[in-house]
Structure 1
Amino acid sequence: MPSRRTVLAAGAGVTAALAVGGAARADEHRPAALLARMTLEDKVGQLFVARVHGHSATEPDQADIDANLKELGVRTAAELIARYRPGGIIYFAWAHNTRDPRQIADLSDGIQRASLQQPRGLPVLISTDQEHGIVCRIGRPATLFPGAMAVGAGGSLRDAHTLGRIAGRELRAMGVRQNYSPVADVNVNPANPVIGVRSFGADPEAVAALVAEEAGGYRAAGVAATAKHFPGHGDTAVDSHTGFPVITHSREVWERLDAAPFRAAIAAGIDSIMTGHLLVPSLDPSGDPATLSHPVLTGILREHLGYDGVVVTDALGMAGVRTKYGDERVPVLALKAGVDQLLDPPDLGLAWNAVLRAVQDGELTEERLDVSVLRILRLKERLGLLAEPYTDPDAVDRVVGRPEHLAEAERIAERTTTLLVNEGPLLPLSPSTHPRLLVVGADPVSPSGTTGPPTGVLAAALTALGFTATALSTGTDPSAETIARAVTAAGEADAVVTTTCNVTAASPQRTLADRLTATGRPVVAVAVRNPYDVAHLPSVRACLATYSWSDAELRAAARVIAGTVRPRGRLPVPVQRADDPARELYPLGHGLTY
């Protein structure tokens, strides 16, 4: 396997050849000059952002080769590039693309080398979903920040910009130049199963300001940010991965609520906007999802909002975009609607050939493709990808997970932790009065490679602060036997901390909290995902919201429990009463301190 220095040298001649007309003219003329030499097949390829299995572009593990053959008809990323000439590649952890930073950088360089070695080869725009919080494709030792709703609870524009700038620097060091973040949806529906804490909150103006700042941070780092999911996925109880959401907002409500963050993103120079696979009848009564809607994408996004950057679909394998049309029609209709990048179609060969055939048959013109390809090439030029497609061999060690970045994540987490309930007051706890702590509760599977299950991370952090804390995982659906075991263990503790995740009225997690409280031991709940959990936990004396379960957020919660830092977060969403959802239990902006 050649080193990244060798890869850089091997591609230098090809890279130099891309500098059409010389460096002085590169910014203005290079994308158009590259477009002029492309074949129709080259142009079709540029429109696609493809997935591929494996940690290496040429030597993946056998299981990944088998998966690629089954799903894509090729063995490796290099073979995929040779066959389809994709303009982009998306990384997923489940596809084994993101084992560790050095491997990611090597994979990125391998992909670029494979593409640049093709006739008329162009650099590939590599992307991923690194939202932070509950959606992360790249884990430790990369810096993992609190997610959007946590940042919304902190309310700091500086923090949002810092997150984008640091996260962008680390992504760029690994060869990832496009990030599908920030989420620009305004989460006004507590039952939203797919957005929730991925949103900055329920206040459209606050969300707009934070979206613009985070996008600006990414732009400063030389990475394309992506505002998603246009025209707004925040008021739905249906997940577009598995169903077809319908947004019933009037045009006036949409303008006031959903449009504001996208307007702000556009004003901030957002590089790309992702479509949502959802139906908004007030914007287009045809019944088509927004991804396939000319009135939504061209009429509203392009013409009404004045956006001329890259539009990328959400993943085309999601149910929301496949409900009305077949997989062969979806990519063609998306392009007719105004899309530029076609993300992760379920059958790449079928989709690629469908677009090619649509041009050959006259349904799409080559001039239409030219418009999107030129946008994509201009984005690559703006990111410096056409001039420097390879990673810096020394950047991974120098940039990714550096101590200053990790410390910034910890500081942001401290400013976002929200104290919702504190009867007595119970908090802060002291090792002198409550030396023995039991940490029980939900341990949602980490999407980001944290150091352990939330109960274990929280117990370790409390122990480091002078307590003797024991962890006991009871899960998100504890059985009667598990609850009884936790109650017995609580008898040996001076206080109990219980983590919760997506509690409902009938949830066994509520039963666990009630049974723990009945022991007479003081109980502190830590909602590690939705702050709405607090409405279903009336028996606990104290409740914190962390909005996710990254190490930084859990350690910040431990410091708040111990009183070494004061809680400063404020609810970025209102919490409704469990017994009367029409009434608020805690309003937007609620948050206690010591």
Structure 2
Amino acid sequence: YEHKKITKTMKENLQKYPVGGVILFSRNIWNRKQTKKLIRKLQKNAAMPMFISVDEEGGDVARIGNNKKMKTDTFPTMEEIGKTQDADYVYYMASTIGSQIGELGFNVDFAPVADVKTSEMNSEIGTRSFGDDPKKVAEFVSAYVKGLESQNICSTLKHFPGQGSSSGDTHQGSVDIDSSISKLRKIDFVPFVSGIEAGADFVMVSHISVSRVTETSEPASVSKLIMTTILREELDYSGLIVTDAFDMACITDKYSAAEAAVKSFNAGADIILMPQDLPEAYDAILSKVKSGKITEKRLNDTVERILKLKFQKGIMTLEDTAQKKMGD
């Protein structure tokens, strides 16, 4: 959790639990040499090449940019950019971020924020949104996605279905937004549609609940209506669906690690981000697959999406798969 270099336990766990990727935070990043070495060692000890991800949005959320020892460019908040800059600047910013994190070994950026901030009470999104105009946010989100893609870095639209109108913080507990489906379509979905059309590789699903739409208090990240019916079918999204972090209070207060992982996967998620207990979550899904309660087809759909993207981005090669088969 706090480590800045790989440990024996990490190496053992990467073999025992062949995860699809890892995320690094500020606490794992000290300087350029250390970060490159950590990523190189993680990849070397992984069963298959991994997604190496980071929250590098620019502004306040920049795990790398806000560390002076990393010697990378810094950028204003997205709120300020939304007020003072244009789409060309956003493209430049994203391509710069993509180039600089790519040099370190990262291949996934959990950015851009596609939330339309319509509530001044929103502390979780705060200055991370480009603003309250859906069309302008959509334009900037599209430019950001294209900027990252120009550097072969996977982009991520977050936080679907849009939590710009929320007044709570999902890190601390349950949050419900009072939005109808028509309001979501008119405002919140607009930047996500734009980002999907621009070629976004991931969509990160929030833990907010939208009770007026789902008629339940369950988080979007475990809702089949949100992830499958709306995101996959209505918005015609074919990329990877990743959850927001599953160690956040709005998940851990309601579900065990096993329950949350199985429920989310069954609802349509491809990647469970940061389960509170990895072995418990891993074993729960594996058990459901072995018993037939999670079908091989459902599992294969996700695996195919993951492998397709890793091949497209050059994260994985045919040589990697051949070596894996030889090892098996």
Please give the TM-score of this superposition, normalised by the length of structure 2. Answer: 0.93
Query: Which of the residues 210, 213, 216 maps onto 1:286?
Result: 216
Query: Which of the residues 7, 26, 34 maps onto 1:93?
Result: 26
Post-superposition offset of 1:326: 2.4
Post-superposition offset of 1:158: 0.5
Query: Which of the residues 191, 194, 197 maps onto 1:267?
Result: 197
**1:77 is the counterpart of 2:10:** yes
**Equivalences for residues 51-70 of structure 1 within 5 A:** 52-58=1-7
* Worse overlay, 343-352 or 142-151: 142-151
- Alpha-carbon deviations, 1:153-195, whole Å to 9, x = none? 1231001101110100111111110011100011111111100
Q: SS of the residue aligned with 1:228?
A: strand
**Equivalences for residues 523-562 of structure 1 within 5 A:** none
Distance in 2 of aligned mates of 1:163 and 1:291:
29
Q: SS of the residue aligned with 2:34?
A: helix
**Equivalences for residues 415-454 of structure 1 within 5 A:** none
**Equivalences for residues 295-310 of structure 1 within 5 A:** 295-310=225-240
Q: SS of the residue aligned with 1:328?
A: helix
Q: Which amino acid aligns with 1:102?
A: K
Query: Which of the residues 378, 381, 384 maps onto 2:308?
Result: 378
Q: SS of the residue aligned with 1:107?
A: helix
Distance in 1 of aligned mates of 2:35 and 2:121:
36
Residues 176, 217 of structure 2: 8 Å contact kept = no
Distance in 2 of aligned mates of 1:319 and 1:362:
30
**Counterpart residue number, 2:37:** 106
Post-superposition offset of 1:83: 1.6
Q: SS of the residue aligned with 2:258?
A: coil
**Counterpart residue number, 2:54:** 128
Aligned residues: 316
**Counterpart residue number, 1:192:** 122
Distance in 2 of aligned mates of 1:135 and 1:376:
26
**1:352 is the counterpart of 2:282:** yes
Structure 1 gaps of 5+ residues are 1-51, 59-74, 116-120, 390-594
Q: SS of the residue aligned with 2:257?
A: coil
Distance in 1 of aligned mates of 2:10 and 2:255:
29
**Equivalences for residues 169-568 of structure 1 within 5 A:** 169-387=99-317
Residues 54, 76 of structure 1: 8 Å contact kept = no
Greater RCO (CA < 8 Å, at least 6 residues apart): 1
Q: Which amino acid aligns with 2:84?
A: G
Change (3 A) 1:99 1:111: same
Q: SS of the residue aligned with 2:169?
A: coil
Q: SS of the residue aligned with 2:269?
A: coil
**Counterpart residue number, 1:163:** 93
Query: Which of the residues 46, 70, 77 maps onto 1:147?
Result: 77
Q: SS of the residue aligned with 1:212?
A: helix
Residues 55, 109 of structure 2: 8 Å contact kept = yes
Q: Which amino acid aligns with 1:165?
A: S
Structure 2 gaps of 5+ residues are 320-328
Change (3 A) 1:388 1:159: farther
Post-superposition offset of 1:388: 11
Distance in 2 of aligned mates of 1:150 and 1:383:
31
Distance in 2 of aligned mates of 1:243 and 1:338:
23
Q: SS of the residue aligned with 2:136?
A: helix
Distance in 2 of aligned mates of 1:80 and 1:367:
27
- Alpha-carbon deviations, 1:14-36, whole Å to 9, x = none? xxxxxxxxxxxxxxxxxxxxxxx
Q: Which amino acid aligns with 2:34?
A: Q
Distance in 1 of aligned mates of 2:300 and 2:135:
36
**Counterpart residue number, 1:477:** none
Distance in 1 of aligned mates of 2:214 and 2:94:
33
Q: Which amino acid aligns with 1:261?
A: P
Distance in 1 of aligned mates of 2:103 and 2:9:
23
Distance in 2 of aligned mates of 1:288 and 1:358:
21
Post-superposition offset of 1:132: 1.5
* Worse overlay, 357-366 or 222-231: 357-366
Q: Which amino acid aligns with 1:101?
A: R
Distance in 1 of aligned mates of 2:35 and 2:26:
11
Q: SS of the residue aligned with 1:131?
A: strand
Residues 101, 142 of structure 1: 8 Å contact kept = no
Aligned-pair identity (%):
35
Distance in 2 of aligned mates of 1:163 and 1:363:
45
Please give the TM-score of this superposition, normalised by the length of structure 1. Answer: 0.52
Post-superposition offset of 1:144: 1.6
